[in-house]
């Protein structure tokens, strides 16, 4: 069957950014100038024109931006995004007969001396184009175009020995502003784009257990204790303060210290065993304080430019009110009991998973959304979601979109340490940021490979990494070392990598800065436990933040460097440089305008000095291909005078890294 309009000759293909052909939105940040590229072409040799149509989805009217040709039928256009939320864009392209005519006329004029070029006829064709444009134009523009047409006609009447180009750049621009869209091709899909606030791209997270926040050893910490610590955390340079679940903790099957199957009297249990007589996901554990305390914490955080991040873990202790109020949301066994969490033969009887195949899935979805809405209404704009990969993906796509409707500045971090497709699918479904495999990528080759994957299309258009050297669940074997000097070198190395490889990073403290490396079980080789000994997941801890071995000063310095160097606040500019040493990792980030470039050289070996000749990609640093330049080590303030691409670096293990700023 013939199409409605067979004269739409232009083809539009390969639009970027697009995620799964427009099934999911690409992600950008407020204030970005979004660059859109596409293959746009037609049969033959006629000139083409194209424009980008874009709008915030709350508006009906499209705005337009012109495409310019780059190379080999590829075109590029840009549009600024000045509102949070969903945008849409698409492309319209058409044959530009006037522009074709102008180019042909120039060739005819250049060849007019051969005597075979009928210039007057060509001028009359041009006059017809101008008259047609005048008919599409309005007011004075129409008059100007009519005048230009008449001028061509009268020129065509004259028999000149030599004709000069009779069309001005102004006339060409005027015609272009009244394009003939009769046979324009409109791309059939409106591609979605989601715009987040800046913290979605650039954030520094500090995780702490409120229960351990008391200055009095042995005393249960409170939200007020946390509030008291906020200025110190802000001074360290963090802008997200994330707390494990603050809800009432179940009593049934409560776990004891070090994950003991049976709790002893006074054991505080796991914050992830959510729900007790006092309430569930919308209640606060009484030991932590009241809603008044919570609001005070959110306020002091806000005053310090810090977001409070809550941990949303959709699972229930057997004491959670939902267990009795909504039995349909749980899976029941033939004996009538509720199915607890299992990974046969292991059992987690203190946890009831929610059943996403419940007949009342709509009610369940509403309730889970209600949890986000509840805390959103109380000023929370950052949620770290526990194990989202064990909840149905269609639920997340719906729920996150619902939350963002009323609070488009909300950030969701997916705590999904699972297979790549599932992690990426959560990002596509709406999670703003995601945990990564960084925690287990320790070698040079695997770090380069992984960060190359996540810093480039297609992944970077939908997945924003948030990298953590440690979490309460993961004390990597690398950290479980003695002597102290070596352990400190590892802790330094990993936080430097996290803070400079990725614009979003976080640490679980104070365990991190205090170099906590004791595993729950001795870990010979790589087969040991990644659990902490005396984990805060099951007990209070008292941390000596005045420990002289604390690397808090280094972390403070890193966060300052991140704030002061715009290039470190994004990922798509990550470039690895070559050095013939498998224990040295070299990479840089440079702003698009070249005004800020940071080069990081890391010694991956905590035991020995490593050195090598860097083979710098000077273009990636915005430097000419040869010549002298200065680099300043932002950690020490020392300035080095370098030349051309080859430069020598040596790093003692206790120094760990140089973070060079390229000086101009």
Q: Does 393 bind a second copy (CB under 8 A)?
A: yes
Q: In whole angstroms, give the CA distance from residue 28 to residue 21.
A: 17
Shortest Å, Cβ 346 to a second copy? 9
Catalytic residue, chosen from 86, 415, 516, 530, is 415
Shortest Å, Cβ 385 to a second copy? 12
Q: Does 262 bind a second copy (CB under 8 A)?
A: no
**Of 345 and 524, which CB lies nearer to a second copy in the complex structure?**
345
Q: In the set 335, 482, 526, 580, which binds a second copy (CB under 8 A)?
A: 335
Q: Please report, to the nearest 10 degrees, the dihedral formed by the alpha carbons of residues 217, 220, 223, 229 taken in order.
A: 10
Of 614, 664, 603, give the one whose Cα is nearest residue 644.
614
DSSP letter at 276?
B
- Is residue 443 within 8 A of residue 497, CB to CB? The reply is no
Q: In whole angstroms, give the CA distance from residue 475 to residue 511.
A: 10
Q: In the set 34, 41, 249, 306, which binds a second copy (CB under 8 A)?
A: 41
Q: Provide the mask over 424-463, with x wherever binding to a second copy is found by CB under 8 A and - wherever it is not.
A: -x--------------------------------------
Q: In the set 69, 252, 392, 635, which binds a second copy (CB under 8 A)?
A: 392
386 tagged catalytic: yes
Shortest Å, Cβ 107 to a second copy? 4
**Of 128 and 219, which CB lies nearer to a second copy in the complex structure?**
128
Of 341, 325, 313, 330, give the one whose Cα is nearest residue 248.
313
Q: In the set 348, 398, 437, 440, which binds a second copy (CB under 8 A)?
A: 398
Q: In the set 202, 383, 395, 642, which binds a second copy (CB under 8 A)?
A: 395
Of 395, 462, 456, give the one whose Cα is nearest residue 423.
462
Cα–Cα distances in angstroms (integers) from residue 416 to residues 110, 307, 372, in the given order: 65, 21, 18
- Residue owning tokens 């033969």: 345
Q: Which helix (H) or strand (E) holds 89?
A: strand 85-95
Backbone angles phi, psi at 444, to 5 degrees: -60, -50
Shortest Å, Cβ 257 to a second copy? 22
Q: In the set 139, 218, 266, 344, which binds a second copy (CB under 8 A)?
A: 344
- Residue owning tokens 């913290």: 199
| Number of residues in contact with a second copy under rule CB under 8 A | 61
Q: In the set 362, 525, 548, 637, which binds a second copy (CB under 8 A)?
A: 362
In 205-289, which residue ranges form alpha helices assigned H by DSSP? 223-235
- Is residue 496 within 8 A of residue 604, CB to CB? The reply is no
Q: Provide the mask over 488-507, with x wherever binding to a second copy is found by CB under 8 A and - wherever it is not.
A: --------------------
- Residue owning tokens 């005396």: 534
Segment lying near a second copy (by CB under 8 A), choices 3-11, 26-34, 81-89, 557-565: 3-11
Q: Provide the mask over 105-134, with x wherever binding to a second copy is found by CB under 8 A and - wherever it is not.
A: x-xx-xx--x-xx---x--xx--x------
Shortest Å, Cβ 351 to a second copy? 14
Shortest Å, Cβ 71 to a second copy? 10
Q: Centre a 10 Å sphere on the Cβ of residue 422 and count the other Cβ atoms it contains.
A: 14
Shortest Å, Cβ 483 to a second copy? 39
Exposed/middle/buried for residue 262 (C-beta within 10 Å: 0-12, 13-18, 19+): exposed
* CB contact set of 514 (below 8 Å; sequence gap of 6+): 543, 544, 545, 547, 549, 550
**Of 3 and 139, which CB lies nearer to a second copy in the complex structure?**
3
Catalytic residue, chosen from 386, 513, 516, 531, is 386
Q: Does 326 bind a second copy (CB under 8 A)?
A: no
Q: Is 530 left (phi over 0), alpha (psi -120 to 50) or beta?
A: alpha
DSSP letter at 346?
E
350 tagged catalytic: no
Q: Does 526 bind a second copy (CB under 8 A)?
A: no
Of 295, 289, 350, 362, give the one whose Cα is nearest residue 323.
350
What is the set of active-site residues?
386, 415
Interface residues with a second copy (CB under 8 A) are 1-3, 6-9, 11, 13, 20-21, 39, 41-45, 72-73, 95, 104-105, 107-108, 110-111, 114, 116-117, 121, 124-125, 128, 183, 333-335, 342-345, 347, 356-358, 361-362, 365, 389-395, 398, 419-422, 425
């Amino acid at each position: 069957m013939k199409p409605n309009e067979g004269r739409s000759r232009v083809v539009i293909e390969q639009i970027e950014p697009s995620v799964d052909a427009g099934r999911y939105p690409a992600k950008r940040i407020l204030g970005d100038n979004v660059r859109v590229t596409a293959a746009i072409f037609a049969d033959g040799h006629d000139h083409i024109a194209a424009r980008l149509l874009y709008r915030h989805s709350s508006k009906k009217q499209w705005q337009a931006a012109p495409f310019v040709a780059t190379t080999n039928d590829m075109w590029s256009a840009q549009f600024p995004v000045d509102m949070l939320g969903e945008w849409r864009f698409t492309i319209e392209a058409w044959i530009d007969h006037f522009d074709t005519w102008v180019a042909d006329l120039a060739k005819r004029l250049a060849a007019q001396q051969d005597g075979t070029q009928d210039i007057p006829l060509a001028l009359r064709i041009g006059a017809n184009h101008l008259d047609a444009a005048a008919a599409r134009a309005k007011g004075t523009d129409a008059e100007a175009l009519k005048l230009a047409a008449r001028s061509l006609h009268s020129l065509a009447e004259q028999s000149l020995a030599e004709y000069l180009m009779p069309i001005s750049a102004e006339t060409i621009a005027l015609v272009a502003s009244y394009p003939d869209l009769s046979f324009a091709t409109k791309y059939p899909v409106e591609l979605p784009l989601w715009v987040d606030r800046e913290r979605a791209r650039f954030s520094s997270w500090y995780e702490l257990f409120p229960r351990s926040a008391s200055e009095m050893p042995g005393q249960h910490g409170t939200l007020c204790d946390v509030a008291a610590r906020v200025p110190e955390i802000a001074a360290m340079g963090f802008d997200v303060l994330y707390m494990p679940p603050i809800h009432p903790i179940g009593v049934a099957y409560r776990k004891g210290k070090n994950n003991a199957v049976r709790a002893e009297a006074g054991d505080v249990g796991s914050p992830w065993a959510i729900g007790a007589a006092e309430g569930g996901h919308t209640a606060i554990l009484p030991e932590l304080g009241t809603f008044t305390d919570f609001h005070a914490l959110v306020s002091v955080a806000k005053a310090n430019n810090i977001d409070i991040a809550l941990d949303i873990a959709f699972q229930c202790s057997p004491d959670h009110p939902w267990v009795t109020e909504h039995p349909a949301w749980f899976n029941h066994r033939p004996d009538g009991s509720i199915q607890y969490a299992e990974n046969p033969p292991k059992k987690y009887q203190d946890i009831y998973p929610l059943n996403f195949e419940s007949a009342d899935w709509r009610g369940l979805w509403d309730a889970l959304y209600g949890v986000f809405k509840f805390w959103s209404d109380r000023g929370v704009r950052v949620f770290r979601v526990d194990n989202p990969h064990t909840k149905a993906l269609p639920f997340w796509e719906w729920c996150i979109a619902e939350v963002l409707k009323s609070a488009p500045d909300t950030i969701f971090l997916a705590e999904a340490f699972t297979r790549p497709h599932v992690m990426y699918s959560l990002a596509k479904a709406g999670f703003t940021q995601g945990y990564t495999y960084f925690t287990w990528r320790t070698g040079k080759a695997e770090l380069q490979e992984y960060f190359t994957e996540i810093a480039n299309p297609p992944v970077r258009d939908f997945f924003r990494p948030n990298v953590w050297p440690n979490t309460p669940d993961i004390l990597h074997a690398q950290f479980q070392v003695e002597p102290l000097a070596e352990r400190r070198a590892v802790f330094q190395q990993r936080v430097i990598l996290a803070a400079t490889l990725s614009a979003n990073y976080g640490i679980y403290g104070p365990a991190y800065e205090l170099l906590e490396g004791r595993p729950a079980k001795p870990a010979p080789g790589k087969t040991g436990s990644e659990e902490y000994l005396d984990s805060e997941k099951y007990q209070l801890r008292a941390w000596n933040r005045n420990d002289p071995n604390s690397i808090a000063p280094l972390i403070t310095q890193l966060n300052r460097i991140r704030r002061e160097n715009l290039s470190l606040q994004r990922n798509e500019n990550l470039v690895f440089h070559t050095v013939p040493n498998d224990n040295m990792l070299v990479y840089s980030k440079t702003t698009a305008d070249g005004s800020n470039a940071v080069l990081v050289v890391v010694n991956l070996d905590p035991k020995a000095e490593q050195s090598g000749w860097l083979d710098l990609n000077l273009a990636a640093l915005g430097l000419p291909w040869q010549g002298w330049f200065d680099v300043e080590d932002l950690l020490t303030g020392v300035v080095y005078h370098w030349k051309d691409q080859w430069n020598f670096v040596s790093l003692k293990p206790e120094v760990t890294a140089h973070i060079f700023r390229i000086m101009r």
